[in-house]
Structure 1
Amino acid sequence: MLHPRHLACFPILALSMLLGGSAWAQQPATETTTASQKAPLPLDELRTFVEVLDRIKSAYVEPIDDKTLLENAIKGMLSNLDPHSAYLEPQAFSDLQETTSGEFGGLGIEVGIEDSFIKVVSPIDDTPASKAGIEAGDLIVKIDGHPTKGISLNEAIERMRGKSGSPITLTLVREGRQPFDLKLKRAVIKVKSVKSQLLEPGYGYLRVTQFQMNTGEEVSKALARMKKDNKGKKLEGLVLDLRNNPGGVLQSAVEVADHFLTSGLIVYTKGRIANSELSFSADAADASERVPLVVLINSGSASAAEIVAGALQDQKRGVIMGTESFGKGSVQTILPLNNDRALKLTTALYFTPKGRSIQAQGIEPDIEVSRARLTRDTSNETVREADLLGHLGNGNGGTERPSNIQAASDSTRPQDDDYQLGQALNLLKGLSFTRRD
């Protein structure tokens, strides 16, 4: 299915947080060793570093051991590169590895840093964060009463982690609102990356919450299952929902895109080291059977989700609908160190088939549809004769016509409460009508 030019490693394209769904991949450390040998050591700067280290040890008000000073120096080096590079101590490295399996502890949110504040990139479906109503774009200004401004991302993540069932209070700032507190309970997060169902006969809904190692395979099974549920007939339309998908494993994103493409480039990356030069193309197999496709994105769609949306948009395979995506187009590679530590280092940028870099720009939808709250107007609905208990039947055998108030409240169709999804379904129906004409 995959046709990369170089397959020595799979870098990650996930956001710079460890609380939810980031993915990781190992890249041989020899690449960076070779690169560093090409440049001479900055002797003057190293002398200054040693001098500063010596002055702190001898003059600081409290004694500090060498290990603490050196680890803080390493963290400082990485924190000033970009928001997604980090020094991972043993626990953070272990936590990052756990997330690729789809089960980890925490609240279920992807976070980053903006203007020294912790910002929610996206809540993950069916987690304490999403159930509590946390939204993409929320700023976390306090954790259990402690301000977050200026603290590192890893430190914020450590504060939000904890024993399953333990309480935590987040103080949030949301656009247009005063700061407010939200009380949650931590949980073991078990993320199901793929969900699917038929919205109506012939029209399918495929939700990818994040890209884990097995997501490509799960999407293939979901497509087959929806066809079976549609009485074995090919679907007339499909909604691929990538909203609030924070990214994940590059390989899985390529596999998902390939399920909808039969040829051409999917994504390529550019960087300074050899293993950062990757290129992936689609094969001729078509698990989707060229079903008409609408892809939903929003500001919480990031990284690997943007790869899929960008590839499908560039190849004109589907209509991209929703709002502009997050705009994370950089690749992070995990470089293991000794003592169970690692570097999470930005090593490349990725590009869509037409050479677009999404970094700090995002994917613009073909059709912009903002999120909206749906309310049903029942003001004109009144109780009718056919609603009354013990009413007489129609003497001529005509069909009774009760009010539809109860029918509306009993609706469980996701498109009835999701404006963007409803618009996507309407577009697919319009496309189907056009094809029949």
Structure 2
Amino acid sequence: MLNINHIDKIHFIPSKRFFGLHLILLLALLCLLMQSFNGVAKPSLKSLHHQQLNEILFNINTYYVDDLQLQNSFESQPTNQQVEALFERLDPYSKYLDETELDAIFSSTNGRYTGLGIEVKVTDGRVYIVNTIKNSPAEQAGLQVNDELTAINQQPIVNKSIEEVARLIRESGQAAVDVSVKREQVTELNFSIKRQQINLESVQSYLADTGVALLSINAFNNHTLHDVARTVAKMQINNGFPLSGLIIDLRDNPGGTLQGAIEVADLFLDSGTIVSTKGRFNEANQYYKAHSGDILSGAPIAVLINENSASAAEILAAALRDNQRATLVGETSFGKGSVQSLIPLGNGNTALKLTTARYYTPAGQSIDGKGIAPDVSINQTMLSEIDQDVIIKNIQGLSLFSSLLDKQDKKQLTAKQLIIMQ
């Protein structure tokens, strides 16, 4: 699944022009590409000049997660066609970013972007809506989950990549985008929708009378840690401390920033490994551990996942499960376990997005291409998408919260909670 206007969240690596700078881990893990990208068209590099081509070659040779042994591959100045062919040897998450795509990265990482507000996946060359962002132009116009996008501005999009579809939408600029969909495989509908700036709500919550809370994390951005911590603290205050249990809903969460996933996991862990990354250069090898302090004081946690839970969502799910802090419920997750880094090119208006590492769960497993299997398998249709009481009732029916902590004192807020509430 991919938000049609989102671009991935990644590490930031200075290009060789900026080696005097420290490595800045700005954006972290690339987590928004839940679509299988077999056959996705790579961006055209025909307009790039020799200096940019040389920078691209240098960075691929130095930082790409696999050693492609490029030292002697180009006897003279590489051509645009040769570099395009080289991209075909890379994984589907590595690409050249133009100025528009680069700007979209920074906007979406800060919880906003300009677009229609739809998240999509591709199945057999057809584009289906898997979510519409709350209060977005798409939701207000009436687009629905499971609608098949058939045309953008009268151009058929069957067998087009998500990048091509996104480009068609962006090309409308300030004008309305004509969107054609097929609903329930029969009805043809047409919508005229204007792109707008959308502020993404990364967290939604619900507290049941039983003291069990539902926390839905829609994506991970720079605000997710504060949003989660504030929301949990507020629910605990409303419940009279502590919560009886917490359900973290990561279904259809396409990911976001690595740092966001690590920070959220750390809220609920007292100790243990959260995630590790391994690559060919030193800074790609990182090991993240939890700090003391569990904001739930040990109250049980269930995590909901499905086939559209990817990357950062998988990092959080694996961290909580492998540290025996949570039970995973639902369907096997998407299986994106690679880390992308953002390397500026030229004057910094364009960049190379490059896979530089793979991440490993606390148990030392790579889930890339495999996903995370739940502890308790439940078909997606058995869990409501919108009725919080139904979700909580079904999870409680699994007896996952049967060993509730019944003698917990109403403790003061932990240091973590106090920091984020200031």
Alignment CA distance shift 1:110-1:374 (3 Å) = closer
Matching residue's letter, 1:27: I
Question: CA RMSD of the aligned region, Å?
Answer: 3.4
Counterparts in 2 of 1:96-111, with a 5 A limit? 96-111=105-120
**For structure 1, which segment, 365-374 or 427-436, has the greater mean C-alpha deviation from structure 2 after superposition?**
427-436
Query: Contact 2:152–2:177 (CA<8 Å) still a contact in 1?
Result: no
CA apart distance, 1:261: 0.8
Question: Partners of 1:75 and 1:151 in 2: how far apart?
Answer: 19
CA apart distance, 1:22: 3.6
- Residues 219-264 of structure 1: per-residue CA shift (max 9 Å, x gap): 1111110011113x21111111111111011011001011111111
- Residues 281-329 of structure 1: per-residue CA shift (max 9 Å, x gap): 1011111211111111112211100100111111121111122211111
Structure 1 residue ranges without an equivalent (≥5): 1-14, 51-69, 376-412
Matched, 1:133 2:144: yes
Alignment CA distance shift 1:34-1:193 (3 Å) = closer
Counterpart in the other structure of 2:325:
317
Counterpart in the other structure of 2:305:
297
Counterparts in 2 of 1:405-416, with a 5 A limit? 414-416=387-389
Counterpart in the other structure of 1:285:
293
CA apart distance, 1:148: 2.7
Query: Contact 2:300–2:401 (CA<8 Å) still a contact in 1?
Result: no
Counterparts in 2 of 1:18-33, with a 5 A limit? 19-20=5-6, 22-30=8-16, 33=58
Question: Partners of 2:71 and 2:401 in 1: how far apart?
Answer: 63
Q: Between the two proteins, what is the percent identity of the paired residues?
A: 34
The structure number with the bigger radius of gyration is 1
Alignment CA distance shift 1:20-1:167 (3 Å) = same
TM norm structure 1:
0.71
Question: Partners of 1:422 and 1:289 in 2: how far apart?
Answer: 23
- State the aligned residue count: 356
Matched, 1:257 2:265: yes
Counterpart in the other structure of 1:188:
197
Question: Partners of 2:93 and 2:259 in 1: how far apart?
Answer: 19
Question: Partners of 2:82 and 2:106 in 1: how far apart?
Answer: 24
Query: Contact 1:193–1:210 (CA<8 Å) still a contact in 2?
Result: yes
Alignment CA distance shift 1:430-1:97 (3 Å) = closer
CA apart distance, 1:189: 1.5
SS at match of 1:247: coil
SS at match of 2:166: helix
Query: Contact 2:9–2:105 (CA<8 Å) still a contact in 1?
Result: yes
Question: Partners of 1:39 and 1:87 in 2: how far apart?
Answer: 18
Question: Partners of 1:367 and 1:242 in 2: how far apart?
Answer: 15
Alignment CA distance shift 1:153-1:335 (3 Å) = farther
Matched, 1:424 2:410: no
Matched, 1:166 2:176: yes
- Residues 152-175 of structure 1: per-residue CA shift (max 9 Å, x gap): 54332121234578243144588x
Alignment CA distance shift 1:167-1:192 (3 Å) = same
| Equivalent of 2:87 in 67, 78, 99 | 78
Alignment CA distance shift 1:205-1:374 (3 Å) = closer
Alignment CA distance shift 1:122-1:334 (3 Å) = farther
SS at match of 1:200: coil
Counterparts in 2 of 1:15-414, with a 5 A limit? 19-20=5-6, 22-30=8-16, 33=58, 36=61, 40-43=71-74, 70=80, 74=83, 77-78=86-87, 81-111=90-120, 118=127, 123-129=132-138, 132-135=143-146, 140-149=149-158, 151-161=160-170, 162-163=172-173, 166-171=176-181, 177=185, 180-181=188-189, 183=191, 185=193, 186-231=195-240, 233-339=241-347, 340-372=349-381, 414=387
Question: Partners of 1:109 and 1:317 in 2: how far apart?
Answer: 33
Query: Contact 2:299–2:405 (CA<8 Å) still a contact in 1?
Result: no
